[in-house]
Structures are given as C-alpha cells and as structure tokens.
Amino acid sequence: MKIGDKIEDFEFNAYHNGNFTKGKLSDYKGKWVVLFFYPLDFTFVCPTEIRGFAKHQKEFEKENAAILAASTDSIYSHKAWFERDLPEVEFPVIADTNHKISEQFNVLQDDGTALRGTFIIDPDGYLKYLVVSDNNVGRSIEETLRVLKALKTGELCPVEWKPGEKTLH
C-alpha cells in the first residue's frame, strides 16, 4: 500500500458507544477517515493515544473527518476495556480478530498484534498519509490533525505549516 492508492473497501465489527456494531469503510464515503491501529487493549501507551484522539474528536469532525481505531483484540475485550478505563471514547473501535484489515494496511506483526499505524484516507477513498512506528512510542494527535488540515487545502504546505499560514504556489 502506498500514497495515492485507492483503498479497497473492508467490513468490520466494532465496539462503539456501548454497542457492538458492523460497518465498512465505504460507509464513510464523502468524509475524510483517520484510521489508527494500536497494538493491544489493556496496555500502557495505547490509552494515552486513544484519549488524545477522543479529546480532539470534535476538531476532526469540524474537518469532515471520522476517526476509526483498530486493534486485533476482540469486541469483547474492547467493551471490557473501554467501559472500565476509556468511557469518554465516542468513535468506533474495530476488532480485527481475523487480521485482514491489519494485513491490508501492512501493520500486522508476527505475534498477531498491530504496529502503531496512522492512515488518512480522503473522501473518495484514496490514501493520502501514512505513518507506521514502533509500538514503544506514541503518536502525535495534533500532528495528525495538522496534516489533515494541510491535505484539505489541496496546496503545497511548507514545513511546520499551520492553518491560516500561507501555502506555496
């Protein structure tokens, strides 16, 4: 998978706002999608990132973006963890127990967990941004939001560009 690729539609089971739900990527056609993978429920770094996305969710929504989280844990594990430790999370958390989505996005590790991958998909389903990192280091949600805003300009954005600043022509 590389930047500019059309992302093949996928179906998923998720834990979302206290319920088990089904969905597919194409449900979000017309919206930007920020899909992020994390290794496991009940871990140390993961809840800091998940809380970070939850804290900024309204800002993503203002940008016409939906947040989707994913790990290879089950929906039952998600339910137990999110109800106990992360009740503020309002976005769907995908249970990729068959590893198809993690494989599709090339973040599946040999032990069956996912690497920390962040993917921004445009409203037409094309991959515009991807970052995959070691599981020991949490990602920057503010940087993900900045990149989303930059992508939405359709312009050339210089280093450290922020909304309201000039783009390059």
Give the residue numbers marked as catalytic: 46
Which residues make Cβ contacts (< 8 Å) with residue 23, sequence separation at least 6?
11, 12, 14, 92
- CA–CA gap between residue 34 and residue 165 (Å, rounded): 23
How many other C-beta atoms can be found within 10 angstroms of the C-beta atom of residue 37?
A: 24
Which residues make Cβ contacts (< 8 Å) with residue 159, sequence separation at least 6?
none
* β-sheet bridge partners, residue 65: 32
- CA–CA gap between residue 121 and residue 129 (Å, rounded): 7
What the block records as the tokens of 46 is 């993961």
How far, in Å, are 99, 137, 157, 165 from residue 134 at the CA level? 18, 6, 27, 32
Three-state DSSP state, 63: coil
